[in-house]
Copies of this chain bind each other. A is one copy, B any other.
Amino acid sequence: MKIGFVGLGQMGSAMARNLLTAGHELTVYNRTPGKADALAKDGARIASSPADAAKGVEAVLTMLADDPAVAEVTFGEHGIASGLPAGSAHLSLSTISVALARRLADEHRARRQNYLSTPVFGRPESAEARKLLVVAAGETAAVDRYHLIFEAIGRQTFVAGAEPWQANAVKLCGNFMIGSMMEAFGEAFATMRKAGIDRHLFLDVMNELFGSAVYRNYGGLIANEKFTPAGFRLRLGLKDVRLALEAAEELGSPMPFASVLRDHFISALANGQEQLDWSSVALVAARNAGLESSTKS
C-alpha cells in the first residue's frame, strides 16, 4: 500500500520502519529534517511537506505530540488536508482530544477524505517490536480497509466504534488507568516508607499479586525513583489526564481519581519535575508525607 507518515519521533520512527519492513511504499515527513534519513536509506521517500507526504497515498498516518501539532500538520499551510486524495484516509495515531478528533472527522469528510482515529498503547520498545495495541474507530469499511497497516505496527487491533473520537476516548481512559496505578503506588510507597518497610518488598508483593508487566515496570521506576531519562514527560501526562477530564465532562461523567491525578501532575510541575518521567507524579504523595526524594528533583 502507498502510505504517508508524518512525525518521526521515537514512536513514529519505529512504526514507519515496521511499515517499510512489511513491504509498504512509504513517504515520510518530519519537521526536523535529519530524522528521516535512516528511513530514506531503507527505501522511504522523503517528503517536502505534510501535503507532499499525503499526495497520492491510500493513507497518511500522523504520530505527533499533541493537539496543536496535529491541527497544524493537517490544516496548516501545505498540510495533509490539502494533499490527501479524495477517498483516501488520514489515520491519527496520536493521543489527541475527543474535540480535535471530531473536528478532523468533520473537516476531512467535507473534503471527501476519510478520517480514522487509531491511537496506540505502548512505549518505544513495543513500537519497535511491533507489539503496540491499536485502538481504531471510524467507518467500518475504512477500518477494514487498513487492517494491514494495523498488523504491520501492532500485535492486536481493537475496534472502538464507528465514531473516530471513540478510539480517543478509549486511549485517554487507558492512560488514566495507568496514571491511577502510578498514583496508587505513590501513596502506598509513601506509607511504606513512613512505616519503615522496604519499598521493594512491597513492590515484590504487588508483582506477585497483580502479575502485570505494567506494574512491574512502573512500580520499579517509582520504587527506584528512576525518573530520567523521561520515557514520557510529566507535562504530557498532565495533558492526557486533562483531555480525559475534558472528554468526561462533555460526556457527563465525573472522574474523581482523574481529578486527584490532575492536581498531582500540576503539583509535580510546580515543584520542579518538568524534566522527569510522568511516573514521578509519585513524588507528590511522598512530599505530602514529609518525605525527601532520594534523587533530588
Contacts and interface: CB of A to CB of B under 8 A. Distances in A.
A211 interface: yes
Nearest to A188: B173
Given A192-B170, A206-B177, A209-B121, A256 B252 contact: no
A110 interface: no
Contacts of A197: 160-161, 166, 169-170
Interface stretch (A31-39, A48-56, A139-147, A259-267): A259-267
A208 B170 CA distance: 13
B196 A161 contact: yes
Max count, chain B CB within 10 A of own CB: residue among A161, A188, A196, A285: A188
Contacts of A198: 161
A116 interface: no
Interface string A259-287: 11011101101111000000000001101
Interface size class of A (residues with CB under 8 A): 35 or more
Contacts of A251: 191, 194-195, 289
Number of copies: 4
Interface string A128-147: 00000101000000000000
Nearest to A287: B287
A288 interface: yes
A281 to B, nearest CB: 12
A212 interface: yes
Q: Which 7 pairs between the two chains have the least Cβ-Cβ distance?
A: A270-B290, A212-B212, A259-B259, A254-B263, A252-B270, A194-B251, A180-B184
22 contacts: A133-B209, A158-B201, A158-B208, A161-B198, A170-B192, A173-B188, A174-B205, A174-B209, A177-B210, A180-B180, A180-B184, A181-B184, A183-B257, A187-B255, A191-B247, A194-B248, A211-B213, A253-B270, A253-B288, A254-B263, A256-B285, A259-B263
Given A158-B205, A161-B198, A252-B269, 19 more contacts: A158-B201, A169-B192, A173-B202, A174-B202, A177-B206, A177-B210, A184-B257, A187-B255, A190-B253, A190-B255, A194-B252, A211-B213, A253-B285, A253-B289, A254-B267, A254-B270, A259-B263, A266-B288, A271-B290
